């Protein structure tokens, strides 16, 4: 039987806007395919054996939580980067996405040093970027739509060689100006899409699981599932954004 170790980083602190639902989606879609899932919650101060982690999930958090996370991970960033370079999978949402970059400037003007895993930075902006969102995701060819909900005050800017997760069809994205949303580096995906994201986007959920399996040289070929309910949720979110599926 295939097996995936999913590390859930700081589940009590990083769980805004239903992000815990992303963990449920990952576990259920793995279990439906008879993949054994081992969930390891990681709390502040715990040891993190990145060498045993296949998929690291980081949810969204408030500025105070982001500061705590940054400080707690600061001494482990070298091991984390090593695992990333070896193709460990990371899925990071909102505040955690910001922390994967070089730095984040909070609404109070405080500069929080990031983990420097992705070539991006985040600065405070005027007002918040809130609402239903949809993007054309570049993980597939042709691109497929992803839907979610965004609520962030920071504006994130990608470096010249960093790939965006997708192009904004509706909503604000990384900064409200350049039509980019999220970022992808190797098997690391960062995004501002909450809501939670994965239950309404089973294609992305399966993508993460397949990458985690391939990371350990396990069979990543998947049987199809009945995604009729997930598809209804996806279509409903597209309608809220005034879009049709692409």
Active site residue 172: no
Residue 234 lies in a domain: no
CB atoms within 10 A of CB 81: 15
Active site residue 137: no
The catalytically annotated residue of 8, 13, 172, 194 is 194
- As a whole number, mean pLDDT of residues 132-138 equals 95
Note down the domain range covering 58: 3-123+154-160+181-223
Residue 169 lies in a domain: no
pLDDT at residue 68 in the model: 80
As a whole number of angstroms, the distance between CA 95 and CA 49 comes to 22
Residue 165 lies in a domain: no
Question: Closest Cα to residue 234, out of 243, 225, 222?
Answer: 243
Whether 88 has a pLDDT exceeding 60, the answer reads: yes
Residue 62 belongs to domain with CATH number: 3.40.50.880
pLDDT at residue 17 in the model: 67
pLDDT digits (tens, 9 = 90+) for 34-43: 999 999 999 8
As a whole number of angstroms, the distance between CA 91 and CA 84 comes to 12
The catalytically annotated residue of 53, 94, 152, 170 is 94
pTM, entire model: 0.95
What is the total count of domains within the chain?
1
Residue 17 lies in a domain: yes
pLDDT digits (tens, 9 = 90+) for 144-198: 999 999 999 999 999 999 999 999 999 999 999 999 999 999 999 999 998 789 9
Q: pLDDT band at residue 244, thresholds of 50, 70 and 90?
A: low
pLDDT at residue 163 in the model: 97
């Amino acid at each position: 039987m295939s097996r995936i170790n999913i590390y859930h980083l700081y589940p009590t602190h990083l769980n805004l806007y239903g992000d815990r639902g992303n963990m449920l989606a990952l576990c259920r879609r793995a279990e439906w395919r008879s993949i054994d899932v081992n969930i390891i919650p990681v709390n502040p101060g715990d040891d993190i054996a990145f060498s045993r982690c296949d998929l690291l999930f980081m949810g969204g958090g408030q500025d105070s939580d982001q500061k705590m996370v940054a400080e707690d991970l600061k001494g482990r960033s070298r091991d984390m980067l090593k695992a990333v370079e070896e193709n460990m999978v990371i899925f990071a949402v909102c505040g955690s996405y910001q922390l994967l970059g070089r730095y984040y400037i909070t609404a109070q003007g405080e500069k929080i040093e990031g983990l420097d895993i992705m070539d991006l930075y985040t600065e405070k902006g005027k007002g918040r970027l809130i609402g239903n969102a949809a993007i054309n995701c570049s993980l597939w060819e042709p691109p497929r739509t992803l839907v979610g909900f965004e609520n962030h005050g920071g504006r994130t800017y990608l470096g010249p060689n960093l790939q965006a997760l997708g192009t904004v069809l509706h909503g604000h994205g990384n900064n409200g100006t350049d039509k980019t949303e999220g970022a992808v580096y190797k098997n690391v995906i960062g995004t501002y899409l909450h809501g939670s994201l994965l239950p309404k986007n089973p294609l992305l959920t399966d993508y993460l699981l397949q990458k985690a399996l391939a990371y350990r040289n396990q069979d990543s070929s998947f049987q199809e599932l009945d995604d009729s309910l997930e598809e209804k949720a996806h279509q409903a979110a597209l309608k809220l954004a005034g879009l049709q599926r692409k």
